[in-house]
Structure 1
Amino acid sequence: MPQWLNTWNTRLAKWLWWVVLLGVVAALPVMYARVQTETSADKVAIVMDYRDLLQVGNTQVNPQAFVQEQLKLLKDAGVNGMAVFESTLEELSWAGEINVYNATQAALLEGRVSPPEDNGTYLVFNRPENEPVLRPIIEWAFRHHGAEVTNWSVKDRAGMRLSMGYDDAYLRAMQPNPIAMKMLKDAGFMIVPRLSDRFVPFDPVEVDKWLQSFEELGVTRVLFDGEAVTGYGKGIKFKGVQRFSSELKKHGIGVGIFENLKVPQKGMAKLANLLKYDAIRAHSVGEAEMNVIKKPVLEDRLVLGVKDRNIRLLYLNAASVRDSTKGQVTHPLQNIIDVLQGDEEEDSVGVVKQLKDFGFEIGEPKAFEVHKAPSEKILRGIAMLGAIALVALTVGLFIPSLLLPVLVAGGVGGAGLYVLNSTLMVQALALMTAIAAPTASVVLLIKRIRVLRESAEDQPISSVRRLGGAVILLVRTTILSLAAVPFIVALLNHISYSLVLQQFRGVNLLHLVPIGLVAIYVFLYGSSETVVGNARKILAMPLTVLWIAGVGILGAVGYYYLSRTGNGGQVTGIEMQFRSLMENTFGVRPRIKEFMGGHPLFFAGIFLALRYRWAMVLLVAGTIGQLSMVDTFAHIHTPFLLSLIRVFLGLGIGVLIGLAIIVVWQIGEKIWVKWLKSSRFIA
């Protein structure tokens, strides 16, 4: 590179660091607005699946009495809501409202032989006073499903015949049971209907009737059952969703969004957008899980969901199972009650008490009130410029001649992409910034350590000075790594990210690229040879069994590292117990890979690298801690203040562990030196 271009790039780099600083300052009001948004809703609903309760009751000797008893116990334990599904003949039979028969059973009741061509479904109403409410619901639903409905009676009991096979009819959806909803409302429960997209075509007039009845019962939020939201049906898609959203807004009803579904419910993002994000996050504990999960684990899971992931609706399921060991039918309802209100035998205070201690209240959940910073668009624009400058500076650390081209390309290309697809642009820039900050911070650290070590070749730096220098360099590096955080927050400051309708993209890249770039800089940059010359030397090294084993071990470690990365990362049972211990000890769980791995290696690595060249390898491994701090804030659904506490708690514990490593090293080094001296004297 010509000297004049090198000088020009150096001057440009200095100015770009001021642009980065300006971008960070501009992002601060946006960060504050996000904190205001996240603290605007502190009420949490604990909702029980009423259909599951009926199913469990159906295994008891007196189902109705059992259900009423459990309703009282659950309410006393803290359950304040009941989820009511779209009715089915099966559910109405569990509730004792009807009896359902196939054609053969109906014929036997009438004292005749069923003709082979009759495969209809027959039902009678058990409670004449409820027939006027249920009959029109059943008639409309089955006619909508394409079945003929006629009157039928047996032994002075009024009923109906449905021209649909028994097994098919048993599962067909109908309007949620208004009798059950009124009973639950009178019992003091909040009603949360669960709607589906099983009625095709979508009938907005009928849905309006449903929503009107919901509004009269005080319903403020619905959940969805199945793979799509109501109105998404085949051939309708967003047109049906638009009609449904209009009906919801008309009746003042919002939605709940279940987290961690294998496949997100279709149409949810569009519906939430049309509702202006009158939506909350919900966490469900499945029926199968509920029967095997340990009570302390369930308690931690529910509390962490609310505290760590902005969950505002806890959804509890239950199912009766045949326990061959006990020789009886069992259910988890008592375990649910113990987890919510606490269990002295388990030394547990309960979910409700813990949530109150963390500042949450059991009640009717509200959507977040979105706060905006003054002139937020302008501030976000300045933050974008700062992020582009940071990315350009990072590229310039490796290839200085690309500093200006990357800056220009980033500005022009970013502006063009923002016009075409603003979401893609901000997500891409957020990822590049998240990668750039820890990479640049560690690379600048390495450059500084090399300068300090070369200046002290004649007189090695003392241990005390190295320790002080390690603290200062760690603080400086951490500040620069965390410079990515304001940019990520500003770029992705939209409620859809808090609701996980959109997410930070490229987590695996964030966890790999900075480590790879730092390793490249350590091994290829900084010596008297050129980058190409250093690469040739490495490639010319003889391939030994030790090298092959090392690569294999490195690959295994990398695979395990990636398997733990992201929301779907895998952890061991021992680690789960350790996480619970950390949570109970500190109230906020720092990330294990930070305080047990990245930060101790990084801090000890700085200390050792100030004297030993080989210790640069520790800085490569310790980069995990720096990038992990940035990744913590990339989880937008986690409250910002909690992420801040988590990061600095992990950093503090990691430094203490790193200090212990340094002490052990110093002691071992002195013992080794003394042994060498004594062995020479003996020789």
Structure 2
Amino acid sequence: MLQWLNRWNARCAKWLWWVVLVGVVAALPVMYARMQTETSADNVEIVLDYRDLLQVGNMQPEPQSYVREQLKQLKAAGVNGMAVFESTLEELAWAGEINVYNATQAALLEGKLTQPGDNGTYLVFNRPENEATLRPIIEKAFARHGVQVQSWTAKGESGLRVNLGYDDAIMRPMQPNPIAMRMLKDAGFQIVPRLSDRFEKFDANETDAWLQSFQELGVKRVLFDGEAVTGFGEGKKFYDLQAFAASLKKRGIGIGIFENLKVPQFGIAKLANYIDYNAIRAHSVGEAEMTVIKKKVLDDRLILAVKDRDIRLLYLNAVSVKDAVKGKVSNPLQNIVDVLQGEEGEKGVIAKLHDFGYDVGEPNAFDVHHASQEKLLRGLTMLAAITLVALTIGLFAPALLLIALVLGCIGGAGLYVVAPTLMVQALALAAAICAPTAAVVLLVKKLRTLRESSDAPISVSRRIGGALLLFARTTVLSLAGIPFIVALLNHISYNLVLQQFRGVGLLHLAPIGLVALYVFLYGGGNTVVGNAKRILAMPLTVLWIVCLGVLGAAGMYYLTRTGNAGQVSGLEMQFRSILENTFGVRPRTKEFLLGHPVFFAGIFLALRYRWGSVLIIAGTIAQLSMVDTFAHIHTPLLMSVIRVLLGLGIGLVLGFVLIVAWQIVEKLYAVWLKRSRAAA
């Protein structure tokens, strides 16, 4: 009965591979639509933190003139945006708009003694022409914070008394400074407000008034400061967030999403959804980093962010630091200018971005494209992905092929109804694992057949030719997993990294483990159980323990290198920079330097030696890594294609080098063995 079922499943498998091919073809229009989406927004905004600039200016002999001069230099260098935070009394003081005093200082200013119990904060307006603008902003802000404000004068100068301690009062947020924003707008900068969720109660009308003033200044995008977006709140049902989103949509204002935060800002994904994904990705170089980062590193970092990760807003900080070595206060403003403009005849970031097809300007959200009949095409892709999973199961348990297919279709349909996002993410992961696994397992089966059917050793030239053909066939089948990932996860939320491909660690381990399982437990004229018993009965020597320890350590290191948070040494960063500058697109090291050469050489050796399959197991890293490259959905599709092709080309060349080296060693060993026998 089991043999009959296996034969029937084997016949069906030939037809099911055609289903997989149909799914791959159906995914191609969806892939093309994604490429159109990725090329629909090529402007990049380079934004400097204006609050940092004020803080730097506050350390200079003439703060206001220094800030004006730096704005001119930064504009000429290529900075086209300024981030303006919600104002604070401290920031207004840096800008020269007010002077702020604690109770003791205010009393001295009036020539009086400090009143017992007075711990208020006092301020005077330095520019009478701006008082009419700033006074209502300050009064309204502290009223929202539940703090009493009253008029106060000192030596004939108009001011306010805030019924709050000095250290607390100077931190309380208020509306972004409209005077500063107007000045920056007139200087030619795009204004990028940074809003927070720090007011205890969200005021929809007040926030909408802010957004209206932003709209009048030509603001097209806001960023967020703190751990949550405006209107997120605690324990609410997102009514405030929906109101904020409605105001953004009414004013035509989008948002920026910072990458690589330890924890994404709360509410950012929901807000992006509410405003129909009028959003771009932003990359920030932190304040601490800017004080120590080298120019070359900053240059590479900004370029890679734009062309490799779809970043459209580069956010730079510039705080002053006390330099104990030089004995003075320093800041990174000149470094920023040098990096953007270039120095000593080298191109700067602006010129390099232009060479890659990006211009500094007002960034737009991606114009999302869809393939014709995309729902139907994605449905065919889902069916093909389930079929691929069933075929992979059939390679290990032939009797379960059709059962796995039927259960997969029923379970997939049910899960899609209940949790469609979970279903497509799980199916994308399964297809990504199964494509390289099936490809390499079929390769191992083919190699065994070729060895067993050959009466004499295969010549070197035929082995090289055969290795090339088998390498190409295996690679094509592994790459079949890519269209499934792209089509199944084709949504702008993945491009913005609001959702991600799940299971990267499993993808990096499962194919290697499954291929190793097949190599050691399947074939060899014995059953799976028989092979397992034979392996378990082998004596455990010290050598085996050492090998297992080395293998475990290598596996742990390998896992630390996976995903976006993988650990990279400084030396490797330099090597990566060399590759980037040489090829324009950096191939993945694990593919061209390790996986592909070992895999190609392993096929060549396995055509003659059984132990060559061990190298094929190790080389499976490259096959799965090619698929994993496309799981980084925030990387442009064309960039991933170039990266994979470069890895294949360089890897094959290095594979030929390994084969030549092996042939030389093999011949030298044969000569030594012949002489040893003759001497004996």
What's the TM-score, normalizing by structure 1? Answer: 0.99
Instruction: Calculate percent identity across the aligned residue pairs.
Output: 73
The CA deviation at 1:112 is: 1.1
Q: Does 1:200 align with 2:200?
A: yes
CA–CA distance in structure 2, aligned partners of residues 141 and 477 of structure 1: 65
Contact 2:83 2:191 in 1 (8 A): yes
Deviations along 1:431-463, whole A, 9 cap, x unmatched?
00000000000000000000011111x210000
CA–CA distance in structure 2, aligned partners of residues 563 and 69 of structure 1: 46
The CA deviation at 1:237 is: 4.9
Q: Does 1:53 align with 2:53?
A: yes
Equivalent residue, structure 2, for 1:6:
6
CA–CA distance in structure 2, aligned partners of residues 568 and 258 of structure 1: 16
Matches within 5 A, 1:374-523: 374-456=372-454, 458-523=455-520
Contact 2:2 2:399 in 1 (8 A): no
CA–CA distance in structure 2, aligned partners of residues 19 and 41 of structure 1: 36
Contact 2:85 2:176 in 1 (8 A): yes
Q: Identify unmatched segments of 5+ residues in structure 2.
A: none
Contact 1:231 1:237 in 2 (8 A): no
Contact 1:427 1:505 in 2 (8 A): yes
Equivalent residue, structure 2, for 1:597:
594
Amino acid at match of 1:333: L
Equivalent residue, structure 1, for 2:370:
372
CA–CA distance in structure 2, aligned partners of residues 383 and 447 of structure 1: 27
**Equivalent residue of 1:634, what SS?**
coil
Equivalent residue, structure 1, for 2:572:
575
Equivalent residue, structure 1, for 2:242:
242
Contact 1:499 1:637 in 2 (8 A): yes
Deviations along 1:588-646, whole A, 9 cap, x unmatched?
00000100110010000000110111111000000000000000000000000000000
CA–CA distance in structure 1, aligned partners of residues 580 and 10 of structure 2: 47
The CA deviation at 1:236 is: 2.9
526, 530, 546: which is aligned to 2:527?
530
CA–CA distance in structure 2, aligned partners of residues 673 and 235 of structure 1: 77
CA–CA distance in structure 2, aligned partners of residues 230 and 387 of structure 1: 41
Equivalent residue, structure 2, for 1:76:
76
Equivalent residue, structure 2, for 1:221:
221
CA–CA distance in structure 1, aligned partners of residues 460 and 116 of structure 2: 95
Matches within 5 A, 1:40-119: 40-119=40-119
Q: Does 1:631 align with 2:628?
A: yes
Distance change (3 Å), C-alpha of 1:237 and 1:90: farther
Equivalent residue, structure 2, for 1:16:
16
Contact 2:78 2:341 in 1 (8 A): yes
Matches within 5 A, 1:314-329: 314-329=314-329
Contact 1:370 1:495 in 2 (8 A): yes
Equivalent residue, structure 2, for 1:612:
609
Q: Does 1:262 align with 2:262?
A: yes
Q: Does 1:655 align with 2:631?
A: no
CA–CA distance in structure 2, aligned partners of residues 313 and 15 of structure 1: 49
Deviations along 1:30-68, whole A, 9 cap, x unmatched?
000000000000000000000001111111111111111
The CA deviation at 1:203 is: 0.3
The CA deviation at 1:682 is: 2.0
**Equivalent residue of 1:613, what SS?**
coil
CA–CA distance in structure 1, aligned partners of residues 401 and 103 of structure 2: 80
Deviations along 1:270-296, whole A, 9 cap, x unmatched?
110111100000000000001111111
Aligned residues: 680
CA–CA distance in structure 2, aligned partners of residues 237 and 312 of structure 1: 31
CA–CA distance in structure 1, aligned partners of residues 275 and 360 of structure 2: 24
Deviations along 1:195-217, whole A, 9 cap, x unmatched?
00011211011011100100000
Deviations along 1:378-405, whole A, 9 cap, x unmatched?
0000000000000000011001111112
**Equivalent residue of 1:46, what SS?**
strand
**Equivalent residue of 2:64, what SS?**
helix
Equivalent residue, structure 2, for 1:252:
252
Amino acid at match of 2:376: I
What's the TM-score, normalizing by structure 2? Answer: 0.99
Amino acid at match of 1:126: N
Amino acid at match of 1:38: E
**Equivalent residue of 1:502, what SS?**
coil
CA–CA distance in structure 2, aligned partners of residues 58 and 405 of structure 1: 73
CA–CA distance in structure 2, aligned partners of residues 430 and 115 of structure 1: 70
Equivalent residue, structure 2, for 1:177:
177
**Equivalent residue of 1:56, what SS?**
helix
CA–CA distance in structure 2, aligned partners of residues 578 and 563 of structure 1: 18
CA–CA distance in structure 2, aligned partners of residues 409 and 532 of structure 1: 26
CA–CA distance in structure 1, aligned partners of residues 63 and 608 of structure 2: 76
